[in-house]
Amino acid sequence: MIVTYSIICAILTAGYLALVIYLIKGWVNLKQPKINSSGLSTKVTVMIAARNEAERIHLTIDDILAQDYPKHLTEVIIVDDHSTDNTAAIIRVYADRGIKLLQLNEAEPLNSYKKKAIAKAISMSGGDLMVATDADCRMGPKWLSSVVGYYEAEQPVMISSPVIFFEEKSLFERMQTLEFSFLIGIGASFIGNKRASTCNGANLAYRKDIFYEVGGFSGIDELASGDDELLLQKIAERFPGRIGFLNQREAIVYTHAKYTLNAFLQQRRRWASKSTKYKDKKIIAVAIFMWFFNITMLVNIILGFFDVVFFKIFLAQFIIKYLIEFSFLYLICSFFKRRSLLSLLIIVAPLHMVYLAYLGLMGTTRKYDWKGRMVK
């Protein structure tokens, strides 16, 4: 029995090793784009869906207005999603600087307010390239020109660009940054391997006509989340190999980690809820495989108290997991210039096992709180 179980653990460990090597290969496959930021001509619409973002939205708007992209080619639409604070009033202050405010006024409850907000912004937009970000994000002055420069040079139908946490104030927040970097790296690497599957809606661009050609959010609009990954998968199915990842530092969007454990878990459950609608079932299979791999590690820790053999199996698994994840994260953290985060992997790696086990059990089975609403 122990021999059979050990073989299963060995197969799962070898599979995980192969998976992360595949991710490393995908990241390496991403070529540094040669972008000429002069002479750009694409009409762009920057879209933001905002709900109760009065604390920071002025910073985001200021960063967008400070972009070096031609103002006559830039349109900014912010959709206020029934905010109960003064988010809308803050946005109105910028009306004379070209910031357009739309307000949702849905009479019937929805489960997907953000998708509704984005779809409304797109329907009223005048741009050819839709660029989505969030109301609590920051970006450098070359953000928009780097995205458009890549679009005009490579002609992708969708562009996923990097996102990273910043301004961390605690160990917990820095640990989140390392884990989040891993997630961003996964999305980039799958694109590098010509199998686009995940992205982040805080830094996503796509052609307006392509949005309508794939039916917009039709078929995925019953979930509160998924305005990014589920849309990407619809587009990837119709246009394989036409989605790019912009691995350029000027394109980075910065946002904040969650301050509390509860807020972190709510966010991750929201992200996990999208997996039930993934069109690429191989990605679901990969997620299930990763879950089983981490579950066996937790089981081996428990069984190790009864038989030291299991603890030895766990140590072998953990060492392999740590070394291969360190190798992958070294590439990602080097890109973000955050190599100091790698020292936290010895803490994050074991906690990651517990966190993944939790998500696998709870991520798709219960409602969660999102900006003051209970959704699913």
Express each pLDDT in 158-187 by its tens digit. Answer: 999 999 999 999 999 999 999 999 999 999
**What was the pLDDT predicted at 6?**
86
Does residue 219 sit in the same domain as residue 249? yes
DSSP state of 245: E
**What was the pLDDT predicted at 340?**
97
Q: What is the pLDDT of residues 302-317, one digit of tens each?
A: 999 898 998 999 999 9
Does residue 115 sit in the same domain as residue 231? yes
Q: Where does residue 244 rank: exposed (0-12), middle (13-18), buried (19+ CB within 10 A)? A: buried
Nearest residue to 289 (alpha-carbon basis) of 360, 197, 229: 360
Give the mean model confidence (pLDDT) for residues 353-366.
Answer: 72
State percent of the chain over pLDDT 70. Answer: 92
Q: How many domains does the chain have?
A: 2
**What was the pLDDT predicted at 33?**
78
Provide the pLDDT confidence category of residue 190 given band limits of 50, 70 and 90.
very high
CA atoms within 13 A on the CB side of 369: 6
Backbone angles phi, psi at 56, to 5 degrees: -125, -10
On the question of pLDDT at 77 being above 90, the answer is yes
Provide the pLDDT confidence category of residue 362 given band limits of 50, 70 and 90.
low
Distance, in Å, from the CA atom of 126 to the CA atom of 122, rounded to the nearest integer, reads 8
Does residue 88 sit in the same domain as residue 203? yes
For residue 280, give the amino acid letter. Answer: D
In a domain, residue 17? The reply is: yes
- CATH number of the domain within which 98 lies: 3.90.550.10
Helix or strand holding residue 27 (H, E): helix 2-29
Coil, helix or strand at residue 163? strand
Does residue 125 sit in the same domain as residue 172? yes
Give the mean model confidence (pLDDT) for residues 12-40.
Answer: 90
In a domain, residue 102? The reply is: yes
In a domain, residue 274? The reply is: no
Give the mean model confidence (pLDDT) for residues 237-242.
Answer: 93
Does residue 174 sit in the same domain as residue 127? yes
Does residue 230 sit in the same domain as residue 353? no
**What was the pLDDT predicted at 370?**
54
User: Residues with Cβ < 8 Å from 182, sequence gap 6 or more?
Assistant: 325, 328, 329, 332
Does residue 212 sit in the same domain as residue 321? no
In a domain, residue 339? The reply is: yes
In a domain, residue 264? The reply is: no
**What was the pLDDT predicted at 38?**
78
Does residue 251 sit in the same domain as residue 295? no
Range of the domain at 324: 2-26+281-364
In a domain, residue 315? The reply is: yes
